[in-house]
Amino acid sequence: MLQIKNPVLPGFNADPSIIRVDDTYYIANSTFEWFPGVRLHESKDLVHWNLLPSALSTTTLLDMKGNPSSGGIWAPDLSYADGKFWLIYT
């Protein structure tokens, strides 16, 4: 039996959105004014997490110029349908 200790992800990982697709869990977290936007991780057991490439990693996808502190990307919602991952954020 694996024991899960909080926090499951080290550091600041606000507004988690987690889904399960087949045997893998995926989690998306807010990044606020930090670039690249929306931090993504995957796990098979909810204990060991691997960092994935950020969803918003280019300025054509996310231009943060002029955003105030605590602006930017927050409250991501991750989902999976029709063989595709979908990410909605504010």
Nearest-angstrom CA–CA distance, 24 and 22: 6
Domain tally for the chain?
Answer: 1
Angle 27-39-71 from CA coordinates, rounded to 5°: 120
- The distance between the two most distant Cα atoms of the chain, rounded to a whole number of Å, is 48
- The pLDDT of residue 38: 93
For the stretch 4-53, pLDDT in tens is: 888 889 888 999 999 999 999 999 999 988 888 899 999 999 999 999 99
Residue 8 lies in a domain: no
- The pLDDT of residue 48: 93
Residue 7 lies in a domain: no
Residue 37 lies in a domain: yes
Residue 42 lies in a domain: yes
State pTM to two decimals: 0.88
Q: Which residue has the tokens 């931090």?
A: 39
H or E element: which one contains 21? strand 17-21
Residue 1 lies in a domain: no
Residue 27 structural domain:
17-88
Residue 10 lies in a domain: no
Residue 72 lies in a domain: yes
Residue 80 lies in a domain: yes
Nearest-angstrom CA–CA distance, 52 and 26: 10
Token pair recorded at residue 3: 């024991």
